[in-house]
Amino acid sequence: MKSDAYRLGYSLESLRDLELVRLTTEESRNGYFLDESLKLLFRLVHEGWPKGGPQQTTLTAQGRSDYHTFTLPALQSHLFDPERTELLNKVKFRNHVLQRVIELLSLSDPSRRKGRGRRGRNARRGRISYAQLGINQLGSVYEALLSYRGFFAETDLYEVKKAGEDPDELDTAYFVPADEIANYTDDEKVFDEQGNPRRYPKGTFIYRLAGRDREKSASYYTPEVLTRCLVKYALKELLEGKTADEILEITVCEPAMGSAAFLNEAVNQLAEAYLERKQRELGETIPHERYAEEKQKVKMYLADNNVFGVDLNPVAVELAEVSLWLNSLYPGAHVPWFGMQLVCGNSLVGARRQVFPSASLMAHTADGRLWLDRVPERVPPGKPRPADAVYHFLLPDRGMADYGNKVVKGLVPEHIEQIRQWKKAFVKPLQDHEAELVLELSAAVDRLWQAHTDDLRKYRADTTDPMPVYGRPDPEGRRTSTRHKDTRYEQEVLSRRSGPSTPYRRLKLAMDYWCALWFWPIEKAHLLPTRSEFLLELSLVLQGTFSPAAGAAGTQLGLFGPDRPEQLPLDLRDELGAVDVDDLCRKYERLRLVAELAERYRFLHWELEFADLFADRGGFDLVLGNPPWIKVEWNEGAVLGDAEPLYVLRKFTASRLAELRDDTLQKKGLLPAYLAAYEEAEATQNFLNALQNYPLLKGVQTNLYKCFLPQAWMIG
């Protein structure tokens, strides 16, 4: 902003000066000047300027520069990467549209300043200064939007509400088509400024907090004072007796991170603690004018190396990435890469590196207890699996696909009966050849796990950039671009390429398979695997072949039909076998469904995702945050209310609700969505209540917050 050429010709500040200019001509209203200017600005920010063309090279060699030029270092972050905005790149916005966007971002809305004097057309609008907004303020705004969703009105819609309420644009909204608005009283309708029912014509884009979105997202921002207090006292004990350099080794994890408020606060306080101790150790004081920049350098190091987080919402992961970057930015700094640190997933639903004794698999156990009635034991991080133990995610559980709701049974009785019969056979004690195979598969898991751990360890080292930190020697090496790191991660870890899949992909598919059986769609009951099929498919994924043990006792190996290979080719140089996970999922419907369920529910296997950290460090040094305090329960009325707001806006008796249910499901075509919502609620509750998953919470009502406690103890 120190360059007039940039500030007046390219910056967003120059466009803000046009926010209230009247667009009176066709070209000024419907032209694309603002669209082209913004795209040019984003390209300059992403690629930097100058790019080093021949003219600039000549000027630089002569010790001169173009009077009208400027220098803008490249910020190659995901935020400005055109490869990540494929759809947006194809869109051109007219001037009058973007002018309205810039106006709303630039000027405050006096009509929303409740209780602060004048309102309405004569109230003064203030200019918003984003330079004065801190990370916590931006985070609170962005996190509030995590619950919102956008959609296009497929027909004319009217907005309705609960009688007696006066909602604004930030409250939960309900919409009904024009032919149903007569079912609502005037007190249940929302009116516009002219006193007419608020109407959204067909094709209107609506971006609101709709129906159950807030409840499902569980997005609530923690006030800064609480964040600061919690981090302060969590670090007080952890930092005791540590040297400055040891502080730079502390790893912090926020398992329900939202926009990373707790991670940012931890970075701030750890940076201050490091500088305080390093100055004391060196017997020197950083000059006042340098302190802020030195602190930012320490924060950048911590953000790029030491903080980890998980969130169920992919938008939250992107917001966390941006907030951590902005919080640690300083002149000349590169953009930190969070590809192996911030993960989108369900922190509470996943498989673990836990085992059952092999003696508990068959009918005649020494103590009479099958694995079904036991709690699996954790394999200590960095330690080998006991030779006579098998991994829990290779075995059935009674809680899988456990759907007992009477209403659901009445809606799809044949599917429910099919599931009941399946489970009856699926959870029987294992036969000798099955127990033998599960031991073999556990050994295959060990080999893949070790290879995956080695891969992660090497890749994490290769993608760690050298960073200057006060009190340490200048680091050697060179930085690599964000795109280079992304490409390597996607190819070398996630296997987003043709050919054999990485150990990570194979382990994840096997663990996802186990999780998917808990969330199996009721209407896909015919795809539930027999136990032989389950073990055969696990053998294919983990060993690269069908094990002979799986085919014992008359098992039919013609499982996938005539086109399946008898055995995938094994690379003699690689004892892991060769498996193309994507190819398997394309060819075989059941594995394809497993992959779809894993994507929908975002199963997260902590010890797999961060295998090198668990092997080398035992987990994270500090786990903190403020997870959602929400009971997991099936709320039929709220689900039906998404399509028919009357269920939410009025109180119906159980008998009246039953009368309306069938009509609503049939008229709205809601049965698939209704069953999907039920499956998610019921399966989540079953998973969190299962003895083997959360034994410490046995007999306790399912609450997400409580489940995060034993999970934090496990990963910490």
Residue 132 DSSP code: G
Do both 400 and 430 map to the same domain? Answer: yes
Answer whether residue 195 is part of any domain.
yes
Answer whether residue 73 is part of any domain.
yes
How many domains does the chain fold into? Answer: 5
pLDDT tens digits, one per residue of 350-381: 999 999 999 999 987 767 789 999 999 999 99
Do both 437 and 559 map to the same domain? Answer: yes
* CA atoms of 471 and 637, how far apart (whole Å): 61
Do both 95 and 145 map to the same domain? Answer: no
Is residue 182 pLDDT above 90, yes or no? yes
* CA atoms of 118 and 25, how far apart (whole Å): 34
Do both 333 and 191 map to the same domain? Answer: no
End-to-end CA separation in angstroms for the chain: 44
Do both 175 and 86 map to the same domain? Answer: no
Is residue 208 pLDDT above 80, yes or no? yes
pLDDT class of 123 with cuts at 50, 70, 90: low
With contact defined as beta carbons under 8 Å apart, do 530 and 423 qualify? no
Flag the least confident range among 246-260, 402-416, 455-469, 494-508. Answer: 494-508
pTM of the model: 0.88
Residue 346 DSSP code: B
DSSP, collapsed to helix, strand or coil, labels residue 472 as coil
78-84: average pLDDT: 84
What is the pLDDT, as a whole number, of residue 615? Answer: 97
Do both 33 and 173 map to the same domain? Answer: no
Of the two residues 81 and 609, the one the predictor is more confident about is 609
Is residue 277 pLDDT above 50, yes or no? yes
What is the pLDDT, as a whole number, of residue 477? Answer: 81
What is the pLDDT, as a whole number, of residue 562? Answer: 33
Answer whether residue 454 is part of any domain.
no
What is the pLDDT, as a whole number, of residue 412? Answer: 96
Is residue 607 pLDDT above 90, yes or no? yes
State how beta strands 172-177 and 157-160 pair.
antiparallel
What is the pLDDT, as a whole number, of residue 636? Answer: 86
pLDDT tens digits, one per residue of 135-157: 777 777 776 777 788 889 999 99
- Which domain does 95 fall in, by range? 4-112+123-130
* CA atoms of 303 and 308, how far apart (whole Å): 9
Can you list the alpha helix ranges (DSSP code H) found in 239-313? 244-247, 261-282, 288-305
Phi, psi dihedral angles at 472 (to 5 degrees): -125, 150
Do both 529 and 398 map to the same domain? Answer: yes
pLDDT class of 115 with cuts at 50, 70, 90: very low
449-459: average pLDDT: 95
Answer whether residue 173 is part of any domain.
yes
Answer whether residue 284 is part of any domain.
yes
Do both 314 and 185 map to the same domain? Answer: no
- Is the link from the previous residue into 50 a cis peptide, with omega within 30 of 0? yes
413-434: average pLDDT: 97
Do both 64 and 82 map to the same domain? Answer: yes
What is the pLDDT, as a whole number, of residue 566? Answer: 38
Do both 441 and 526 map to the same domain? Answer: yes
What is the pLDDT, as a whole number, of residue 67? Answer: 52
Answer whether residue 301 is part of any domain.
yes
pLDDT class of 59 with cuts at 50, 70, 90: very low
pLDDT class of 332 with cuts at 50, 70, 90: confident
State how beta strands 307-311 and 252-254 pair.
parallel
pLDDT tens digits, one per residue of 229-268: 999 999 999 999 999 999 999 999 999 998 899 999 999 9
Is residue 342 pLDDT above 60, yes or no? yes
Is residue 117 pLDDT above 50, yes or no? no
The DSSP annotation for 173-227 comes to EEEEEGGGGGGS-GGGB-B-TTSSBPEE-TT-EEEEEETTHHHHHT--PPPHHHH
Is residue 303 pLDDT above 70, yes or no? yes
Dihedral over alpha carbons 283, 286, 287, 293 (to 10 degrees): 180
Do both 32 and 77 map to the same domain? Answer: yes
Answer whether residue 106 is part of any domain.
yes
* Residue 177 one-letter amino acid: P
Do both 160 and 94 map to the same domain? Answer: no
- The average confidence (pLDDT) of the chain is 87
Answer whether residue 145 is part of any domain.
yes
Is residue 315 pLDDT above 90, yes or no? no
What is the pLDDT, as a whole number, of residue 564? Answer: 34
- pLDDT above 70 covers a percentage of the chain that reads 89
What is the pLDDT, as a whole number, of residue 310? Answer: 98
Of the two residues 489 and 422, the one the predictor is more confident about is 422
